Amino acid sequence: AKIKIIQNGTVNAKVKISHKIKLSLNLSERKKKNPKLDAVDVDLFITLNKNSKRVDLKIEVDNNAESHRLRIMFPTNLDAKYHCGEGQFDVVKRSAERPDTKNWIEQPMYDFPLHHFADVSDEKNGLAVLVDGLKEYELLNDKKKTLAVTLFRGFEYIIAPSSKQDYTHLKGSQCLGKSNYNLSLYPHNDDWQNGEVYKEALNFNNPLSLVQTGKANGKLPSEMSFMKVTPDVLVFSALKKSADENSFILRIYNPTEKNIKGKVETFNKINKVEQVTLEELYVKDIDLINDNIFPVSLDKKKIGTYKIEFGIKIC
């Protein structure tokens, strides 16, 4: 690998690591004694920002080889009994142990889905990999407890129901050409919950946008929060107009193993709050704490949906 420091200032530092991985051109060449090879160029940019709790990674790939999987490996060196992957409205805890399957006809797969992060922890220390759009990870069964994240899979496109249909002449499934990927490494104390992994993953996937604007004549203060959900373990999912267009639907969820009580605070005055189903059907009224705060209570692994009618019209 070729390593180059491309930026080293007071705000951040960036290193570029360039790899050339030689692979067989395709499956046919791979079976030959002296296969034709081509290089897959991989450039890894590692950025450390001032005061950041994580290390950001950008990977640029120029792939010319077919039928292979490209993964990035992170040896955690943690004596972890479990690993966790975030999914839809949940964080799934999975055992790191693998059963003896040598006599099984069909071998199990240990590739698992993830949404925003995968985390490995020994309950004292942990390492989370935060991703933007990547969907597959595996905790390898090795001494270093390596966390592997799939960047892409290239494969031949063949359908074989009653009659074989060969689409190998179409190369879309081979992921050829240039592509790029964004990840981040987040070391933390304790487990994913106490280490605030979810919060950091959302920060990584929703970076602040800086916008320059001219002077306006509005009445809002220079600092405000339109809506705040506490505690942080209750995750904001969506805020949208309701089906009747006269109010808003707020959706939050509790991905933890504990029942959580919290509150929602808004900048605008609230007239009425109802708990509703995902289909926006009425469940019950929610009593307000004051004009702009209402309580929420979510059991473990549950989704909460609330219909909010504000005191003023919001377009």
- Give dist(CA 239, CA 274) in Å, integer: 14
Please check the confidence at residue 315 and state whether its pLDDT lies above 60: no
Pairing of strands 125-131, 82-87: unpaired
Ramachandran region, residue 67 (left: φ > 0; alpha: ψ -120 to 50; beta: rest): left
Please check the confidence at residue 312 and state whether its pLDDT lies above 80: no
Query: Poorest-confidence range of 83-92, 94-103, 106-115, 221-230?
Result: 221-230
Please check the confidence at residue 118 and state whether its pLDDT lies above 60: yes
Share of the chain above pLDDT 90, in %: 84
Model pLDDT, residue 314: 57
Model pLDDT, residue 166: 85
**Interval 102-115 mean pLDDT:** 95
Model pLDDT, residue 218: 83
Please check the confidence at residue 190 and state whether its pLDDT lies above 70: yes
Share of the chain above pLDDT 70, in %: 99
Quick count: other Cβ atoms within 10 Å of Cβ 312? 7
Confidence label for 138 from pLDDT (cuts 50, 70 and 90)? very high
- Give dist(CA 149, CA 135) in Å, integer: 8
Backbone phi and psi for residue 173, each to the nearest 5 degrees, phi listed first: -75, -5
Measured CA distances, 249 to 224, 232, 237, 271, 274 (Å): 21, 19, 11, 14, 10
Give bridge partners of residue 264 from the DSSP assignment: 229, 294
Residue 244: CB partners within 8 Å, gap ≥ 6? none
Secondary element (H or E) of residue 17: strand 12-24
Please check the confidence at residue 160 and state whether its pLDDT lies above 90: no
pLDDT digits (tens, 9 = 90+) for 77-97: 999 999 999 999 999 999 999
